[in-house]
Amino acid sequence: MTKTILLLMLSFCAFACNVLAQTPSLFPVEKNGKAGYIDQTGKVVIPLKFDEARAFTEGVAPVRIGEDWGYIDKTGQFVIRPQFFEAQRFSEGFAQVGIYWPRRQIVDSTVGYDGYIDKSGRVITKDRFGVAFDFSDGLAEIQTEDYKDGFIDRTGKIVLYAYTYPGSGFHYGRAMFKTNSNMPGSRAGYIDKTGKIVIPATYLWGNEFAEGLACVNAENRSGFIDPDGKTVVDFKYDGCGSFSEGLASVLVNGSVGFIDKLGKMVIQPRFSWVPGAETHFSDGVAVVKVGESEKPTDEGLRDATITSDGKILANTSGFFGVIDKAGKFIIPAKYVQLGDFHNGLALVNLGDAYIIHGDADRWGYINKEGRIVWKSS
């Protein structure tokens, strides 16, 4: 459970994806090997009685008892009984689950296959998938048992065979693909829902569309385009992130700042760059790093140390804090690692090392006043 929560935090946006607006807001916690849920004050609302618990979306949350996953509502009652070997969040009314083979037999070293269920727990897919992702824009990205990439619609039917960047999905009617299977020399472009290339693969890389714009990089300069491929914000940055709450992070001479959709710099670049972690606004605030930016090794890899117990720690200095949309710190930069805020709380690593992979020795939730409302130990 601790490992699952930490890995969500490390990606900075993954937890954002897992915790949507809800009333009341509940947050998964774990202590002494059991998991449950707290509210914004840190009060336990659903007792710690599960073996693993994940965030609520669309009113339900995946939880595990023993080997089996099911879904509970906000009272802690099962609405879909534990019966799957894996269970992901609901998006657009459907969730990806791991379905056991009949009689739970082992077939080709696998315990089952991926499929999709609706809110009643009914399996909507007839095909068996080896890979499956969330629904977005009415479609979900899948890979069939014979390794064909495509998309299903809300009836569970495969409606398009096309290779796109894994996990990106459709947004604003566009999905990003990369030539040469994302190998060196690949270029990024975008297709529409018929599979037609509508934005040619001329970019070194690109992001999915968010708030109507996508950050793309052309010849090592980054800017923003609309779903028709028209340049909206000029290519003048060293890098950029996706728009969120009207602002997007940009990299200028090694420092991170924020622009609006007109390209105006509204928060001057003065924060550190973190590899693999997009800095963005969520819940009205942004988590930023102060201190030296990480530098890759001579091989172009992230500088890290692997500990004897298998943890991967980033060799980095600096600390994370939280700013508002005026660029003012509301929580000083004093934590080694922070997740995005959602519904008033954020995950915080209370240890002394930035963890790329592995279990945090101590973690908790922090509110916007800077108060720790929950500690794992």
Residue 29 Cα distances to 56, 70, 90, 317, angstroms = 12, 17, 19, 28
CA–CA dist 204, 195 (Å, integer):
21
- % of the chain with per-residue pLDDT over 90: 77
Please give the radius of gyration of the chain, using alpha carbons only, rounded to the nearest integer.
21
Query: Would the pLDDT of 5 be above 50?
Result: no
Query: Would the pLDDT of 275 be above 80?
Result: no
> What is the rounded (10 degree) CA torsion for 192, 197, 202, 208?
10
Is the model more confident about 377 or about 137?
A: 137
Quick one: 240 exposed, middle or buried, by C-beta within 10 A (0-12, 13-18, 19+)? buried
pTM above 0.95, yes or no: no
- If one counts every other C-beta atom within 10 angstroms of the C-beta of residue 248, the result is 28
Is the model more confident about 18 or about 127?
A: 127
Tracing tokens 């996706």 back to the chain, one arrives at 242
Q: How much is the average pLDDT of 69-97? A: 98
pLDDT recorded at residue 227? 98
- If one counts every other C-beta atom within 10 angstroms of the C-beta of residue 366, the result is 22
Q: How much is the average pLDDT of 76-99? A: 98
Q: How much is the average pLDDT of 78-90? A: 98
Query: Would the pLDDT of 9 be above 80?
Result: no
pLDDT recorded at residue 296? 63
Indicate the pLDDT class of residue 197, thresholds 50, 70 and 90. very high
pLDDT recorded at residue 181? 73
- Which is nearest to 169 in space by CA: 141, 142, 131, 194? 141
Q: How much is the average pLDDT of 342-368? A: 90
205-219 tens-digit pLDDT: 999 999 999 999 998
Give the DSSP per-residue string, 177-241. EEGGGG-TT--EEEE-TTS-EEEEEEESEE---BTTBEEEEETTEEEEE-TTS-EEEEEEESEE-
pLDDT recorded at residue 297? 63
Query: Would the pLDDT of 300 be above 60?
Result: no
- % of the chain with per-residue pLDDT over 70: 91
pLDDT recorded at residue 305? 79
pLDDT recorded at residue 299? 54
pLDDT recorded at residue 22? 39
Query: Would the pLDDT of 12 be above 70?
Result: no
Query: Would the pLDDT of 11 be above 90?
Result: no
Q: Please, what is the end-to-end C-alpha distance for the chain in angstroms? A: 14
Q: How much is the average pLDDT of 85-100? A: 98
